[in-house]
Structure 1
């Protein structure tokens, strides 16, 4: 059986932590609901956090030129438990099209393949994902390694087409003949049969949210703009695989400069793997000499790519896979594969866990404060009612009846004044509609109209960078307008809440609106990836109408995703504010009802006064217990219980 080490164990601990936190979030939500402390806005925030903990994805993108051993590295890290290669990695049989491995419980285990001919259509990849009937589907038997590996070989299939067809598909470049594939005796060119592959299988890591993106070769990446400007930049980690025997070749450097160097300021963690160090193992050289040669290659590679040396790892994926399959601990150590797995696990999952921990602390902190305010209002109203009832001791029925009439009048006055809240909400919703309009599709279309017109013009797009700059400036201005309107809403609600707090003893608080800086940063990252893509020899490709159309569609899809995320956060913020107000109005009406009911019972039953005072004391004691339980539940969620991924010791080999 195979051994399981490194990244797999890191991911298992990460998954276990997410499940534990998700369960605690559910326990907190159920308890808050039982105590009537969970309004609609808070419920939605908690539900959203639970979903994020359950479905959070971690994408690791593997990028390399052909024959660098990238697919073998994927086999060694993720599929060694099958005891054989799953992804095609033998000579002449390698991944020819971008391939995503993930898990969707709604789908059966299958391999879906998008024909290469769809490149002739203007639709972006994100649009083709919504048309499943256009994909060729192959069912997978995840319990049969041979069937699984046989099905995966389809991602290495090729077609032989004419030069004109290859040119139309983006695999033949008259301006860069050195990058063109060889021509056979019949004048035909070999191209991938498939444009994109999606693999859905219940692999333990994939089930926990891992997504593996396998991207083959400079030609494949360059011809698919969505990979460069959308998929790869969204990965949490990018692994660039080189050959230890060759170092950084010209085509390797082209991939790095054109597609990976622009990720420097993104959130992605970039690693470089010098694979195939076993080709340097030489019986005529000492171990020290071989190690010195490997270290020299690491240092030179880091210098060439402008990376810290500790981000460049040297290993042998093939020997690492063999060692896992055989259970050979010594060979596994020599392969240095566990070093890569530990680094990948600690840096990538550690950063992801920090983000989730921050999200938990933010949501739970807001819920704790809101529930605490509600409990404070309830206790204050009980204290006031207690003073009111104690003042009735020794009073006759006339005084008690007058008090009941006074409380009923206070309730009627409150109901009338509370109706003024509708006026505030009307103004609030009007401003909010303006915000929603700004974040709509028509706003995106208007901002990118100049770029859209330019990209649709025939010939070279000489002013395209200026059009990009203008379009993104307009998009940023939209987000700044949104931020200004959000601030107007908060200012208005702060004044209204302050008045309601003064008049009725509420504890309303206008929480800050969503910060647009993150979305501005996302826009800047998208702009940077597009401008970098346009500045590296793709201007000739851009002259092709279908290529320009795909680039534009990919851009619009990415911007729409950013705006929709901003809109979703804004809607949640608005719902939270409205629900907070509704909850306190409801609490006050309940309090009036309890006061009137208590006085009625005292009128109807002699001696009922002391009994009611006792009930209030019991209710106050219960609220104190609820407050203590709230503190305990929220403390369990915000305490640092995350596994120490960054300091994990090298795990021992474990039978899979």
Structure 2
């Protein structure tokens, strides 16, 4: 099976999971059980399933066959090369391939001169007028390939400009481009490229990141700080005949290995194994050479041998285009596609599936709680009404007055509930303050200022360590405050349950530890920028400013995500209280209505008792249907499924049926 086939299956699975959530939400809404908290959680999960992206980043020095590998894995269906992959330097700027339905198919190119300006890549994304745009015809592979060739364009500039742009380093003359007779040197024309096209895989959420060369990746900290950590897989491409060169090792150690620590998978590809097919060696001898190269590469890079995969991208592409199964097997490209599937798609499915199942389990637990509360209230009402058999109108009137007094007492207790809400909101404001933008800016202010100082950054590591120590302390305080919020709500819910017979329960734990772990990953992944190899780069004001913005941007994403987690958890807790308050008021209204009906007609008692019993039985069937949904996590919910038939909208005429 190809990666494209497996990705199709992954996308179909995501659609099935989203349909499960929609079916559940519709069923709950039909019975007035979909409160704001449940609705928010189910909607949030649906959005995650529908918009989930899987990014695969390809990183290599020039002429390793990286673009050819992208063609072979993802775009062989076009019957030709889409990414430029001719001899020599091809992809000269970082290129993202994805799909945004709000945009037409197009190639957008950011001029390299924007490196001389203070805006970050993220900021440039919101300035479309600064990008050169070329419309793409996805039905015409020839036009598509010609347009995308622009990512390989270069221009010639003076050495001074190359130095300012980050392509000339006085301390590493061996890595500098060769000046021509006119004294000019060659640099990329574009800083970044975005390709938006309705390719089937891209439409389903795949994002491919193609990054070129040590000079390009080293000069753009936002790549290693911002984009690579977002990738589910990072594929590092080497040439099988050369092994790990000095520049390969420098890229791996200085940029790739630290930045990729948090991604799901790091794979190393030994490309161009077809150069070993010399006709003089036996297949066994060739296999032996490949295995020795894999073992040596794994040892040099410090990875497991299973993470090193030998392929021939060029032969794999030819084999797919021609439908040559034997050549495809010889190219070993299926080995890489299986590794991507196992390391990326299966982990992604496990992660998303775990969230869906946890959400469904929490929903069923809440509905069961409400069912038990309603069942108790129904039983109380049945006992209450049953006790009226044979009683005169005076006794019935007395019961009505008693219910009305209970209702007034309950309404009077609302002041206490409001006081609890006030304390809860104060604690929440403190928690949101710790996770807000002002708190983050205060934590990194000294680091940002130190990075933007002109010249050599003496003591920058200490400043960096101190800044992250403050951020860790802030998150630790936020975690303590979150524990305080949970403890306060737990005590309040216990008190309300005892006093009013509610069935309130906290919606799972409010756990901020994953964000603290992400903060530690960010701290580790940035340390390489503060070492001796980057002293001269850090002395450049433009580079240091880009690094500062990249660091702050990633930190902001972590704090924003933590704040969103708190908000979602709080909505679930608050909505549960609101739902049970509303249900209790309805309960008083139903009791009074039943007594009024009994006062008005002698036959009303038996009729009301039968209604209550029918409601109990209907609610029990609903809960059982929800349990069946939870126990069939991989079965799509077709319109004729037992779940849908069991959870059809409530019949008209019974507005209080759960």
TM-score of the two chains, using structure 1 as the length reference = 0.95
Q: 1:454 and 1:512 mapped to 2: Cα distance?
A: 42
The partner residue of 1:611 within 607, 611, 627 is 607
The partner residue of 2:465 within 454, 464, 469 is 469
Partner of 2:8: 12
Write the mapping of 1:21-100 to structure 2, written as runs, cut at 5 A. Answer: 21-92=17-88, 94-100=90-96
Kept in 2, the 8 Å contact 1:14–1:349? The answer is yes
Partner of 2:321: 325
1:270 aligns with 2:258: no
Secondary structure in structure 1 of the residue aligned to 2:353: helix
Kept in 2, the 8 Å contact 1:237–1:268? The answer is yes
Q: CA deviation at 1:483?
A: 1.1
More off after superposition, 127-136 vs 168-177: 127-136
Q: 2:463 and 2:393 mapped to 1: Cα distance?
A: 82
Deviation digits for residues 22-78 of structure 1 (CA, Å, limit 9, x no counterpart):
111100111111111111011000000001111111110000000000000000001
Q: 1:527 and 1:70 mapped to 2: Cα distance?
A: 29
Higher RCO structure (Cα 8 Å, ≥6 apart)? 1
Partner of 1:189: 185
The partner residue of 1:581 within 577, 583, 592 is 577
1:633 aligns with 2:603: no
The partner residue of 2:344 within 344, 348, 353 is 348
Deviation digits for residues 182-214 of structure 1 (CA, Å, limit 9, x no counterpart):
111111111110000011111111111111000
The partner residue of 1:148 within 136, 141, 144 is 144
Q: 1:490 and 1:88 mapped to 2: Cα distance?
A: 55
Kept in 2, the 8 Å contact 1:519–1:562? The answer is yes
Q: 1:143 and 1:512 mapped to 2: Cα distance?
A: 49
Q: CA deviation at 1:639?
A: 7.7
Write the mapping of 1:389-408 to structure 2, written as runs, cut at 5 A. Answer: 389-408=385-404
Partner of 1:337: 333
1:285 aligns with 2:254: no
Q: 2:543 and 2:24 mapped to 1: Cα distance?
A: 51
More off after superposition, 556-565 vs 626-635: 626-635
Partner of 1:519: 515
Q: 1:46 and 1:264 mapped to 2: Cα distance?
A: 31
Partner of 1:107: 103
1:503 aligns with 2:499: yes
Secondary structure in structure 1 of the residue aligned to 2:194: strand
1:425 aligns with 2:421: yes
Unaligned runs of 5+ in 1: 642-656
Kept in 1, the 8 Å contact 2:261–2:525? The answer is no
Secondary structure in structure 1 of the residue aligned to 2:186: strand
Kept in 2, the 8 Å contact 1:258–1:536? The answer is no
Deviation digits for residues 592-638 of structure 1 (CA, Å, limit 9, x no counterpart):
10000000000000122111111111111111121122222233337
Deviation digits for residues 82-105 of structure 1 (CA, Å, limit 9, x no counterpart):
111000000135100000001111
More off after superposition, 618-627 vs 147-156: 618-627
Write the mapping of 1:279-318 to structure 2, written as runs, cut at 5 A. Answer: 279-318=275-314
Q: 1:639 and 1:444 mapped to 2: Cα distance?
A: 44
Q: Give structure 1 regions of 4+ aligned residues with deviation exceeding 6 angstroms.
A: 638-641
Kept in 2, the 8 Å contact 1:364–1:637? The answer is no
Q: 1:322 and 1:265 mapped to 2: Cα distance?
A: 34
1:409 aligns with 2:405: yes
Q: CA deviation at 1:427?
A: 1.2
Q: 1:167 and 1:385 mapped to 2: Cα distance?
A: 83
Kept in 2, the 8 Å contact 1:494–1:510? The answer is yes
Partner of 2:205: 209
Kept in 2, the 8 Å contact 1:10–1:346? The answer is no
1:447 aligns with 2:443: yes
Secondary structure in structure 1 of the residue aligned to 2:413: helix
Q: 2:529 and 2:182 mapped to 1: Cα distance?
A: 34
Kept in 2, the 8 Å contact 1:364–1:638? The answer is no
Kept in 1, the 8 Å contact 2:109–2:132? The answer is yes
Q: 1:104 and 1:194 mapped to 2: Cα distance?
A: 21
Partner of 1:532: 528
Kept in 2, the 8 Å contact 1:513–1:570? The answer is no
1:378 aligns with 2:374: yes
Q: Kindly tell me: are residues 398 and 638 of structure 1, through their superposed partners in 2, closer, same or farther at Cα, counting changes over 3 Å?
A: farther
Deviation digits for residues 331-354 of structure 1 (CA, Å, limit 9, x no counterpart):
111100011111111111111111
Write the mapping of 1:237-256 to structure 2, written as runs, cut at 5 A. Answer: 237-256=233-252
Deviation digits for residues 506-556 of structure 1 (CA, Å, limit 9, x no counterpart):
000123443121111111111111112322611111101111111101111
Unaligned runs of 5+ in 2: 638-658
Q: 2:636 and 2:141 mapped to 1: Cα distance?
A: 40
Kept in 2, the 8 Å contact 1:361–1:638? The answer is no
Q: 1:77 and 1:639 mapped to 2: Cα distance?
A: 30
Secondary structure in structure 2 of the residue aligned to 1:319: helix
Secondary structure in structure 2 of the residue aligned to 1:284: coil
Secondary structure in structure 2 of the residue aligned to 1:555: helix
Q: 1:348 and 1:627 mapped to 2: Cα distance?
A: 36
Secondary structure in structure 2 of the residue aligned to 1:195: strand
TM-score of the two chains, using structure 2 as the length reference = 0.95
Kept in 2, the 8 Å contact 1:110–1:140? The answer is yes
Kept in 2, the 8 Å contact 1:98–1:197? The answer is yes
Q: 1:640 and 1:206 mapped to 2: Cα distance?
A: 24
Deviation digits for residues 392-429 of structure 1 (CA, Å, limit 9, x no counterpart):
00100000000000001001101111231111111111
Q: CA deviation at 1:141?
A: 0.4
Q: 1:264 and 1:579 mapped to 2: Cα distance?
A: 39
Partner of 2:643: none
Deviation digits for residues 312-347 of structure 1 (CA, Å, limit 9, x no counterpart):
111100000001111111111110001111111111
